[in-house]
Amino acid sequence: MLLHIADVLDAARLADTRALLARAPWVDGRVTAGHQSAQVKDNLQIPEGCPEHRALGEIVLGALERNPLFISSVLPLKVFPPLFNRYDPGMTFGAHVDNAIRQVTGTAARIRTDVSCTLFLSDPASYEGGELIVEDTYGEKRVKLPAGDAVIYPATSLHRVAPVTSGSRLASFFWIQSMVRDDGQRSLLFDLDMAINRVRGDLPQDHRAPTELTAVYHNLLRRWADA
């Protein structure tokens, strides 16, 4: 499932994020790449553990916790601490698949990367190129979203970032280990959850259908969840 999640960061949090990005240090992005990805990766990243990285991560994680669409679509069990990258003119990231397991830097904690997420932090009019291109069974999806919006997609997907030709593209990226590892099952649960919300709004408050459908949702989640 590829899903656009609007307004993950509101205007105030986006302004705080941009102020931190402006004063943060930047290093070669290949420091967090696996062997395969390092061969096609050309960008900059904020070093993990620096004060700006920690502050930015807290903003993003706090926003995700308050976003019901993110919670419903991803069913997060663990979220990798958000990373932050920048693509200047000529920079790109070639086709790759994300590592299946990521270790949190400086800890023994590991997460299985079921879902990838990119949170766009630059106004799309401020740079040319830089689209996130995700390949699936229906072809390529090119994604370039407003600042503060995010896209989620299966971490199993082959994907790349098109070369930036002008301006700078800034984003946060990270991975989620879902309670439900199968993308097809997560998609069914998400569709059912959205349908329950619509039915609940259309029917009288004492109607049994929303309760019965909610029972089906939780019984499926109980059957499929790892947690």
Does 98 belong to an annotated binding site? Answer: yes
Name the burial class of residue 120, with classes exposed (0-12), middle (13-18) and buried (19+) by CB atoms within 10 angstroms of its CB: buried
Does 159 belong to an annotated binding site? Answer: yes
Query: Is-contact 114 77, C-beta < 8 A?
Result: no
Q: Among 81, 175, 165, 83, which Cα is nearest to 131's?
A: 165
Helices 51-65 & 11-23 angle (0-180, nearest 10)? 160
Does 142 belong to an annotated binding site? Answer: no
Locus of tokens 């062997």: 35
Name the burial class of residue 73, with classes exposed (0-12), middle (13-18) and buried (19+) by CB atoms within 10 angstroms of its CB: buried
DSSP, collapsed to helix, strand or coil, labels residue 132 as: strand
**Phi and psi at residue 21, in whole multiples of 5°?**
-60, -35
CA 123 to chain centre: 18
List the binding residues: 96, 98, 159, 169
Binding-site residue set for 2-oxoglutarate: 169
Which residue positions form the known binding site for Fe cation?
A: 96, 98, 159
